Amino acid sequence: MPELDDGRTWIEAGTRIRIDGKGPTVVLAHGVLMDMGMWDRQVADLARDHRVIRFDMWGHGGSADPSGPRGLGDYVRQLAQVIEIAGDEGPPALVGFSMGGLLAQAFAVEHSAKLRRLVLMNAVYDRNPEQQARSRARLGDFETLGIAGNAGGTVARWFTDGERDTLAAEITEIDGWMREGDEQAKLKAYRVFATAGADLVGRLGTIRCPTLVMTGEHDVGSTADMARRMAAEIPGAELEVLSGQRHMMNVVAPAVVNAVLRRFLEPEAGGSGR
């Protein structure tokens, strides 16, 4: 492993990893169909006084696509390796977005002692039967029509009609992230995102690190109700439901999101130790 110098990108056992900045360590786990680039707006802020480590999940960005089908445990083990690398200066904070939030839950229920803090951002939890059916239907659409064929539906879920005009540049950027790379490799991850997580229900109470759960008020997939239930189950967890926001709030409202993250990630603030 190379020295963990500021501004370095490298491949470690098939995983592309990037480090920026110096200070308390924060590990960022991206969403499905994205890659580490989705965090650029957060890194630009946090890396001023944090050591920010991000990585590409299997089959995304610059990381490998191991052969065969994939399960949630494969991504959790990948995350665990990154956290082991990041933890050379003590337990890091972990921020997981969407599928990254699912991975973060799975890691934290077993290993929260290895984390300084935990942020579950726009994460899914305990989908009800209707939500499960919608998720599986979207998976079928992705498998049949491909990522490009579902772009319109994804944009409709994530943005209002008005936002499609005012946020045209951001939407184009997000659409590019989803379309880029090996579609079949990404669909392995989407199958996991759409179907996994049932075994985490009722287990979040084992998490013992300071935790923040946050989502957008109008996120239709990672709902405010899910966030409230996660926060209620995790001892001492904080909850932030950002007014007016939908799923990609870290891209379309970075100043708001970064302010919440910065407040919580400061060692002396947000979420008392337990």
Predicted confidence (pLDDT) per residue in 229-241, tens digit: 999 999 999 999 9
Domain count, the chain: 1
What global pTM score does this model have? 0.94
Task: Note down the domain range covering 36.
Answer: 8-265
Tokens of 54: 């991000």
CA distance 30 to 12: 17
Within a domain: 109: yes
pLDDT of residue 274 exceeding 90: no
CA distance 128 to 89: 40
The DSSP bridge partners found for residue 10 are 17
Q: What is the pLDDT of residue 256?
A: 98
* Contact (CB, 8 A) for 33 and 177: yes
Residue 5: what pLDDT? 62
Strand runs (DSSP E) across the chain, as ranges? Answer: 8-12, 15-20, 25-29, 51-55, 93-97, 117-121, 211-216, 238-242
Question: What's the rounded Cα separation, in Å, for the pair 156 and 75?
Answer: 28
CB atoms within 10 A of CB 182: 11
For helices 129-149 and 168-179, angle between their N-to-C axes, nearest 10 degrees = 90
Cα separation, 158 vs 220, whole angstroms: 8
Q: How confident is the model at residue 124 (pLDDT cuts 50, 70, 90)?
A: very high
Whether 273 maps to a domain, the answer reads no
Structure-token pair, residue 96: 């997981």
Please check whether residue 213 lies inside any domain of the structure.
yes
Distance CA 116, CA 24 (A): 9
Do the domain assignments include residue 113? yes
What does the block give as tokens for 41?
């707006």
Asked, for residue 85, whether it belongs to a domain, the answer is: yes
DSSP code of residue 90: B
Mean pLDDT on 131-142: 93
60: three-class secondary structure by DSSP: coil
CA-based torsion, 253, 259, 260, 266: positive or negative: positive
Identify the pLDDT of residue 4. Answer: 53
Cα 83 to Cα 91: distance, rounded to the nearest angstrom: 8
Using CA atoms, how far apart are residues 214 and 223, in angstroms rounded to an integer? 10
Choose the weakest-confidence range: 50-54, 70-74, 83-87, 202-206: 83-87
Domain with residue 224: its CATH number is 3.40.50.1820
116 found inside a domain = yes
Q: How far apart are CA 96 and CA 233, in angstroms?
A: 18
Give tens-digit pLDDT for 145-174: 998 888 778 888 888 888 888 999 999 999
Instruction: Say what the pLDDT of residue 272 is.
Output: 39
